[in-house]
Structure 1
């Protein structure tokens, strides 16, 4: 009887050793949800939806986009942090993930410890855009005008912590002045306010402004990196609206590796690269799309923005 029991124990132990490998082999066996913490149609959502098809193909399961917007992306990010760490809910977030700790008093999470990096996805240049009837014609003229106007400049952005808000912080710091900041519930209403002449300037992701610039409904002065459609534009300020994928803390390492591998093949696909070229957005390199590289980037960016926002007197909300 003892021999039979020992045999059963050994069989059970042997079976348990195979469980993680079997789970990994089966993963994923149902759709995966990507939480996008911004409204549909915005620049972050556009990139996420371009990633949706190739990533679904690579994983062999449908990828579903869940737009949970609000509070500069922190509501959707918190939702991802609190999700089950089973590999079926992941987060697509921009550089705001690294600035939130310095901008919100009751954030409820630390991106360095409560999120598991999967990999970077893209880097998007920013552009300084103005209402079409703004007097300055060149970047030097615009800078002189903004310094002279100071608080009379109505600067729009998509909410505290958005890429446009952060670009405004850098712009005011560089010019040693303060604008009147007007926050909107997303990029789309901010751009509409600019077109309507309700605000003077916005510094936002180039991918979100290309069509308006081409049609002449707004005026562009500079970008933060060279763009294909307007190579003669001057480059000003150092800022990139990078985007990345994260999973909740505790997600199995083998699932993270599979997600990262699928991400790398997705951003290398012709479908994704063609779509990104159309909106002047640079896909991440294979190295940038690795978990370790994103972990390092997140930690460095949290520290960088913490110091910068503190030095500029930007208080927590």
Structure 2
């Protein structure tokens, strides 16, 4: 017996394909409409209590309220802040694991010869968050009382002076390296596992100097009892602490280190999910409590045009190029 096949018209095939595509689209929209259905994890590359951690915890609450789910902050510490980006780059691109990171995303390619991720290729960009100036501090009983005295003392006693940082590859290390480079000195550097422990030892008198973000240093500067401050790292003085001169105006010409922060997701995270994450970020940076607390930390939340995927993408690319030149000129390396 010969089998008979009913011919299928091109119109029928085309209709079937269209129906299937429509079903997939509806399924995708349904997924986007229900996301998130569980807790979102916001990964921080540094220790609890440090500057980036402080910012993450401030943002987590209003972001969670916008998303309708809890946003949990999780610290993935190590390798100068490169473990967390490596983790995010390998994470499932479903929007449930995201990251906040500072300018270390831009400096890492120049600092590390074998970086396990590419900041410009392996992530989706949620948006910029804020800019944070840095300050140069010493223990309270350090012999110098102003920047000129600090320069003189350091140059004469460089083998006796210790300079703390938040870990190899951290921005505080970079700031300290540039400080030494411009003064032409080599101090004993003491890396810690985060800015919090470094600050604790500075206040305790175990180390001499530390260059760190105002999110960490502003409270101890303002109480005036536990550290000395020698200058801010931005070209202009801070409106919140106008009496503190810049390092630039005190002789370190061109010294400009401002720590910017951005938020990232794994490459391939669905566009609709990214849109929700961006909306949540913008809700957070407009939150009155967040604005108040960030101002108290002498920092600046970004304008809405920067809190966008494109704003972060362009800024990151420009910063990678900028710091590549600066780091190579200074001879700084994390390896």
For this structure pair, what is the TM-score category when the shorter chain's length is used for normalisation? over 0.9
Q: Determine helix, strand or coil for the equivalent of 1:192.
A: helix
Matches for 1:253-272 after TM superposition, within 5 Å: 253-272=271-290
Conserved 8 A contact 1:93-1:245: yes
Q: Match for residue 136 of structure 1?
A: 144
Flag the 1:111–1:13 CA change in 2: closer, same or farther, 3 A.
closer
In the alignment, structure 1 residue 311 sits paired with structure 2 residue 311: no
Conserved 8 A contact 1:123-1:243: yes
Conserved 8 A contact 1:38-1:44: yes
Conserved 8 A contact 2:168-2:334: no
Q: Match for residue 227 of structure 1?
A: 238
Flag the 1:13–1:206 CA change in 2: closer, same or farther, 3 A.
closer
Task: Quote the offset at 1:34 in angstroms.
Answer: 0.7
- Report the Cα distance in structure 2 between the residues aligned to 1:96 and 1:301, rounded to whole angstroms: 10
Matches for 1:113-262 after TM superposition, within 5 Å: 113-213=121-221, 214-225=223-234, 226-236=237-247, 237-262=255-280
- Report the Cα distance in structure 2 between the residues aligned to 1:41 and 1:10, rounded to whole angstroms: 53
Question: Normalising to structure 1: TM-score of the pair?
Answer: 0.93
- Report the Cα distance in structure 2 between the residues aligned to 1:249 and 1:266, rounded to whole angstroms: 23
Higher Rg: 2
Q: Work out the number of aligned pairs and report it.
A: 317
Flag the 1:142–1:314 CA change in 2: closer, same or farther, 3 A.
same
Conserved 8 A contact 2:47-2:196: no
Conserved 8 A contact 1:86-1:252: yes
- Report the Cα distance in structure 1 between the residues aligned to 2:296 and 2:102, rounded to whole angstroms: 19
- Report the Cα distance in structure 2 between the residues aligned to 1:93 and 1:265, rounded to whole angstroms: 19
CA offsets per residue over residues 231-269 of structure 1, 9 Å max, x none? 211022311121110111111222222211221121011
- Report the Cα distance in structure 2 between the residues aligned to 1:5 and 1:300, rounded to whole angstroms: 52
> Which stretches in structure 2 are left out of the alignment for 5+ residues?
1-5, 248-254
Flag the 1:313–1:23 CA change in 2: closer, same or farther, 3 A.
same
Task: Quote the offset at 1:146 in angstroms.
Answer: 2.4
Q: Determine helix, strand or coil for the equivalent of 1:246.
A: strand
Task: Quote the offset at 1:148 in angstroms.
Answer: 3.2
Task: Quote the offset at 1:300 in angstroms.
Answer: 1.6
Q: Determine helix, strand or coil for the equivalent of 1:18.
A: helix
- Report the Cα distance in structure 2 between the residues aligned to 1:138 and 1:89, rounded to whole angstroms: 45
- Report the Cα distance in structure 1 between the residues aligned to 2:305 and 2:161, rounded to whole angstroms: 41
Conserved 8 A contact 2:138-2:202: yes
Q: Match for residue 250 of structure 2?
A: none
Matches for 1:52-63 after TM superposition, within 5 Å: 52-63=60-71
Conserved 8 A contact 1:35-1:76: yes
CA offsets per residue over residues 186-213 of structure 1, 9 Å max, x none? 1122112212322211111122122322
Task: Quote the offset at 1:92 in angstroms.
Answer: 0.8
**Stretch of structure 1 that moved more, 299-308 or 66-75:** 299-308
Q: Determine helix, strand or coil for the equivalent of 2:113.
A: coil
> Which stretches in structure 1 are left out of the alignment for 5+ residues?
none
In the alignment, structure 1 residue 27 sits paired with structure 2 residue 12: no
Question: Normalising to structure 2: TM-score of the pair?
Answer: 0.88
- Report the Cα distance in structure 1 between the residues aligned to 2:283 and 2:219, rounded to whole angstroms: 29
- Report the Cα distance in structure 2 between the residues aligned to 1:161 and 1:175, rounded to whole angstroms: 20
- Report the Cα distance in structure 2 between the residues aligned to 1:304 and 1:228, rounded to whole angstroms: 26
Q: CA RMSD in A?
A: 2.0
Conserved 8 A contact 1:54-1:271: no
Q: Determine helix, strand or coil for the equivalent of 1:209.
A: helix
In the alignment, structure 1 residue 67 sits paired with structure 2 residue 75: yes
